[in-house]
Structure 1
Amino acid sequence: MTDDEVKRVYFNFNSAEPIYLQVAQQIEEAIFTGSYHEGAQVPSTTEISRDFHINPATVLKGMNRLVEAGLIVKKRGIGMFVAEGAHAVIVDRRRKAFYQDKVIQLIKEAKGLQISEGELVDLIKRGF
């Protein structure tokens, strides 16, 4: 990993969230932000495990989640690479989650506060 990539990666070893999920999330975030472009090679399990003192099997488990999700592909003997269309898949999934997790909750809260649809739209435009 480059120095810039290392600075952006953070694993919370005290978190209840398993490290393999954090590995998957870190790589997904790097794809989302453009740090890893489609077709680019991602760091190997050996690099990540060595750089962050994580068991290689744990790193591989996280990377395999991304393979199963179609975000990275294994090229035997070469390494793992960002899949074509991975960024679009992430954006689509995050848009859906944004709607479910944020927009629906916002509407519920607005209704509870007796904010009309028009007022809510105005508030969003003002904030945007």
Structure 2
Amino acid sequence: MNSILNDHQPIFHQIGKWIGDQIIDGTFEPHDRIPSTNEIVCLYKVNHLTVAKGVNELVEEGLLYKKRGVGVFVTAEAKRILLDRRRADFTVQYMEPMLEEARKLGFDAREIGWMMEKMGGMASIE
């Protein structure tokens, strides 16, 4: 299995996340053609139906659209939809559990803020 793929979630979800990551980082802009199913199959050495399932899921979510005989393309709204969804997921998956654990350990908001600053805060993300 390719190094970008793992056993922690279904491969078709990972393919979808890979495409989504490239939409968010600007590799794929609105109306850009994404790699074909066959190109993705060759890149990741996975089953054609698995790739198709991942791509079709993104089509159903309104992130991609198909042009028969031409390819699959990024919708104009894809980046906004992905950012909104991932920001909401970030809070639930990372922030809430972190803050719950911090409360158990007796940290207050000031201490958490200090730790974030010490680790580089948001400046290191940019």
Answer whether TM exceeds 0.5 for this pair: yes
Alpha carbons of structure 1 residues 121 and 53: separation in structure 2 relative to 1, 3 Å? closer
**Cα deviations by residue, 1:35-87 (Å, 9 ceiling, x for unpaired):** 11111000111222244443322221110011011111111221110111111
**Cα deviations by residue, 1:80-117 (Å, 9 ceiling, x for unpaired):** 10111111111111111111111111211221121122
Aligned residue for 1:74, secondary structure, equals strand
Distance in 2 (CA, whole Å) between partners of 1:87 and 1:27 is 11
Query: What is the aligned partner in structure 2 of residue 94 from structure 1?
Result: 86
Unaligned runs of 5+ in 1: 1-8
Size of the aligned set, in residue pairs, is 119
User: How far did residue 16 of structure 1 move?
Assistant: 5.5
1:114 to 100, 106, 111: 106
For normalisation by structure 2, the TM-score amounts to 0.80
Alpha carbons of structure 1 residues 16 and 124: separation in structure 2 relative to 1, 3 Å? closer
Alpha carbons of structure 1 residues 79 and 108: separation in structure 2 relative to 1, 3 Å? same
Distance in 1 (CA, whole Å) between partners of 2:99 and 2:9 is 29
Q: Percent identity?
A: 34
Distance in 1 (CA, whole Å) between partners of 2:8 and 2:93 is 21
More displaced stretch, 50-59 vs 73-82: 50-59
Asked if 1:40 corresponds to 2:46, the answer is no
Aligned-residue CA RMSD (Å): 2.2
Unaligned runs of 5+ in 2: 122-126
Asked if 1:56 corresponds to 2:34, the answer is no
Instruction: Report the residue type matching 1:60 in the other structure.
Output: A
More displaced stretch, 77-86 vs 53-62: 53-62
